[in-house]
Amino acid sequence: LGRFLKRSIFESIKYRITKLDHDLFDVIWPAVKKIPETRNVIQTVEEDFPGGVTALDYYVYDVFNEFLTPLIKDLHNINISYELPFHPPSDFIKKSSVLTAAPEPLVELNVDVHDEFVLSGNIECSRNVEGFELPLNIKIGKLESIEKIITTILMNTEFSKVVEQLNPESNQKGGSYYTLNEVLEKPSEVCALLAASGLLIALCEREEIDDFNRLHGKHWPYGRGVYLSDDKTVAVWINVHDHIRVLVSTPTDTPGEIGLAFSKISFIMKYLHDKLDFVLHEKLGHLSSRPTFLGAGIRLSLIINFPGLSRDGDNIKHLCAMRGLQYRETLSTGIARISNYQCLGVTETVCFNDFATATSNLLHLERDLSLHNSAQIATMLSNIFRRKRSSLANIDIDEKH
């Protein structure tokens, strides 16, 4: 905040209020609030509001424009001195129906073909339905309306056919809908399934933070839930920060296979775009309560083991930043979550291509480093036994490694 909320900016906007009565503190509370040392709260704030700002309604982007626009550019790796361009049309908008159109071939792209470093991955895409305020602001009746509209689409046999096309080899069709109460109850079989499938999003309990209404809304967890496909690779969250949050996980046996995950989420989003109208801003793209999800509203994430590069924490963070990647450490040493920064001013396909190129490059560096270390070890062994003239000294290390 220190870089963008200068005193002159603060003085000019500090008394402003949106038409839904949200003020500047409502926008910046994730950055200035002393967060309780509860893992659920920390994870929720860090994952969904990494810039330290949130939009409790759509109007904050205009009301606090002088402050938010430069910050949003920075969050999306856009030069803050540049004029914000018009956001391009979504790749998910198609004139023909998804079901009647000829099926598009699945994208085949694995950034870790030998399954050495990538442990898991997922892609998330969020949208908000035109004609409704964000979930934080609406009353129970509106929450119920959104939940009913979306679940009716998801539980329809037509959507089951879409899911079936995405996984033709599976005998499982369609999916099931669970209320958020079912997810949050302890113990929860649904929660365990979502977590095991890499489809569980950050959630916290009402008693864990006193700013709960700003975080999840006063009617939480009512009117919210998640659709989970039978094959446990697709989850559609309803009314959690945004009206729709679609998550698709990469295959458990080939976690670097981001091409398949992107194909799946593309097919689902095209179907949803065909059925619903979403809130759209000419420059900010698809509006979201999370400023990092403006524009294309898509985040690609991989959990990666970096045994070599992680030895120098500052260096790997710099390597990621230079490639437009966000690097976030996990609780395990050397293992980090890598995700894209930018999804504003670019299409979903551009996000995917840029992320694939950047992560492939990073993994190539990690692989080179591990090979370099092996080569050093082999050379040392060769030197130790050089007087014996054993065959080890004649091994072409580059060929072997």
From residue 276, alpha-carbon distances to 128, 156, 179, 184, 263 in Å are 10, 14, 22, 28, 20
What span, in angstroms and rounded, lies between the C-alpha atoms of 90 and 88?
6
Write down the residue that tokens 């009206």 correspond to: 243
What span, in angstroms and rounded, lies between the C-alpha atoms of 328 and 335?
9
From residue 51, alpha-carbon distances to 27, 32, 116, 208, 369 in Å are 11, 11, 32, 21, 32
Task: Identify the three-state secondary structure at position 173.
Answer: coil
**Tens digit of each residue's pLDDT, the chain (401 residues):** 889 999 999 999 999 999 999 999 999 999 988 887 877 788 888 888 888 999 999 999 999 999 999 999 999 999 999 999 999 999 998 755 555 455 566 788 999 999 999 999 999 999 999 999 999 999 999 999 999 999 999 999 999 888 887 776 666 678 999 999 999 998 999 999 999 999 999 888 888 888 888 888 889 999 999 999 999 999 999 999 999 999 999 999 999 999 999 999 999 999 999 999 999 999 999 999 999 999 999 999 999 999 988 888 888 999 999 999 999 988 888 999 999 999 999 999 999 999 999 999 999 999 988 776 555 544 544 554 454 333 333 434 344 44
What span, in angstroms and rounded, lies between the C-alpha atoms of 248 and 152?
20
Which two three-digit tokens encode residue 274? 């065909």
From residue 304, alpha-carbon distances to 93, 111, 112, 283 in Å are 32, 11, 10, 33
| Cis omega (within 30 of 0) for bond into 221 | yes
From residue 294, alpha-carbon distances to 55, 73, 203, 377 in Å are 11, 10, 21, 48
- Residue type at 52 in one-letter notation: G
What span, in angstroms and rounded, lies between the C-alpha atoms of 400 and 374?
10
Which two three-digit tokens encode residue 236? 């559609």
Task: Identify the three-state secondary structure at position 244.
Answer: strand
Which two three-digit tokens encode residue 231? 């094959």
Which two three-digit tokens encode residue 226? 């998640």
Q: Which residues touch 8 (CB under 8 Å, ≥6 apart)?
A: none
Q: Which residues touch 174 (CB under 8 Å, ≥6 apart)?
A: 155, 157, 159, 160, 163, 164, 229, 230
